[in-house]
Homo-oligomer: A and B are copies of this chain.
Amino acid sequence: MELRDRILDAAAKVYSETGFRGATTRRIAERAGVNEITLFRHFGSKTRLLHEAIRCAGVASNLCALPARPADPRAELATWALTTFRELFARRSLIRTAMGELEERPDLLPPDQSHTVCAGQELHGYLERLRAMGMIRAEVDLMAATMMFMGTLFADAITRDIIPAMYRQDPEQSIVHYVDLIARALDLKES
């Protein structure tokens, strides 16, 4: 692993554990196994380093697209929900920290780049296609349904490990149930 990437990786980890103020240059350097001064030589300042580290750590590794022509909606929704959940769950620590500091430091997390927002738009477009094909109830409010499904996945991924008492079953099983409930709420026709 290149030194620069090692530093960015360490910075993102320390940040998601301790926040901006807690992510001191000493801690980041120690975590990266690098002299503290190397950080400044490479990135100029702590702020610029964390900006880049969070930007890199925030990009989705595998973007999960819903098909342009729905074929098997229930199965497509299920796999999409699972990959979206996994993406959110993998970054849960970073998301929690960044959300907590977003009021104080809004520039650290560009909102239009947020994975959640993109996923929501993707889902909304897919539901519109389903409705156009007459596969879901016509009267349903698609925006509310989108936010409901996204919110469910988001809340589960972000709170599951901090209030485990509320989650009796494993994530995959929960998501199957979520998909089932959403399908019934939309009155989804089976293909």
- Is chain A's binding surface mostly helix, strand, loop or mixed? helix
Chain A interface size, as a band, is: 35 or more
Q: In the complex, A99 Cα to B187 Cα: how many Å? A: 35
Q: A152 interface residue, CB < 8 Å from B? A: yes
Shortest Cβ distance from A175 into B: residue: B144
Q: In the complex, A184 Cα to B120 Cα: how many Å? A: 22
Contact B99 A101 (CB under 8 A): no
Q: Contact partner of A151 among B93, B120, B143, B154, CB < 8 A?
A: B154
Task: Determine the chain B residues whose CB is within 8 A of the CB of A147 once the complex forms.
Answer: 152, 155-156, 166-167, 174
Q: A67 interface residue, CB < 8 Å from B? A: no
Contact B102 A99 (CB under 8 A): no
Which residues of A154-191 are within 8 A (CB) of B?
154-156, 158-159, 162-163, 165-169, 174, 177-178, 180-182, 184-187
List 8 additional A-B contacts (Cβ < 8 Å) besides A100-B100, A151-B152: A19-B19, A102-B162, A111-B162, A140-B181, A147-B166, A147-B167, A154-B159, A155-B155
